[in-house]
Amino acid sequence: MNYKCLGLLYTRKCTENCTICCFNCSPKRHEKMHKKDAIKFIKAAIDNGIRYIGISGGEPFIYLDEIEEIMNYFRDECIFNITTNGFWAIEKGKTRNILERLVNNNLVTLKISIDKYHLANISINNMKNILNESKKIGLKVVVGTTILKNDDIGKLITELKEELISTGIFIHPCYKFGRASIYFDDIDFIYDNEIKIRCPEGNIITIDYNGNIYPCGSIFAIEASRCAGNFFEAKFTDLMRNCINICPDINELNKYYNETRFMNNYIDSCNVCYKYYQN
């Protein structure tokens, strides 16, 4: 495993209460990373050759001033990616100002979550503001769209067709995990009968607001049974080694998948890996 990115799970607080949320985030939650701890985490990553930092939640833009300070601290050493629902992009001028400030602090990619679940309470005009203003300043934006079996993404693309030109769109199947496991039934999820086992999140090591370390960037890895240790209780190099040891060999995972594929429903490789560990 060659870790290239440190993912900071900065908070579980969010402006929304989406039914598909894998982390059960909501406005009522208050777990968040301390700024001084985030700086310690990033310093340790740099010391181990990791200079790409991803920041997600929850909704990290709730704590925009803190995020900016952290980015500014490392602006000459790291590049950053932030994931957001776009709640803050109500007005064009304000949106442009925020984006310019973040770019000046080495934000290289902004990922925005756009689907019918996130747009239930956030205006699509916010998304247009982000997409349009980002193009003006040369900031790369990617769109993440989470779908269930009967969702129609054609309508969404039509509404944003001009803004989405030259923008990467990643369509993610919704996982039966977190809040989605409560609100939806098995038949609502998209299953794949012919999965090519790979590790799409394997170059990311994730750390949460408590300092717990997880072996990849998949939501399935962010749970107690997959925790590789705590930042405040062990050396970061040892925790990285623990992460590598936790992850299964691809050949081993392939064998498990082929033995169980007719007994279980799987959504993708990460889902296979998760069930592998459950068993």
Domain ranges of the chain: 5-191
Residue 112's DSSP bridge partners are: 84, 143
Beta strand pairing status for 229-230 and 212-214?
A: antiparallel
Helices first, then strands: H and E counts in the chain? 9, 9
pLDDT at 1: 64
**CATH number at 5-191:** 3.20.20.70
User: For residue 7, how many other CB atoms are within 10 A of its CB?
Assistant: 22
pLDDT at 46: 98
pLDDT at 225: 86
- The pLDDT tens digits along the chain (279 residues) read 689 999 999 999 999 999 999 999 999 999 999 999 999 999 999 999 999 999 999 999 999 999 999 999 999 999 999 999 999 999 999 999 999 999 999 999 999 999 999 999 999 999 999 999 999 999 999 999 999 999 998 888 899 999 999 999 999 999 999 999 999 999 999 999 899 999 989 899 999 999 999 999 999 899 888 999 999 999 999 999 999 998 888 999 999 999 999 988 999 999 999 999 887
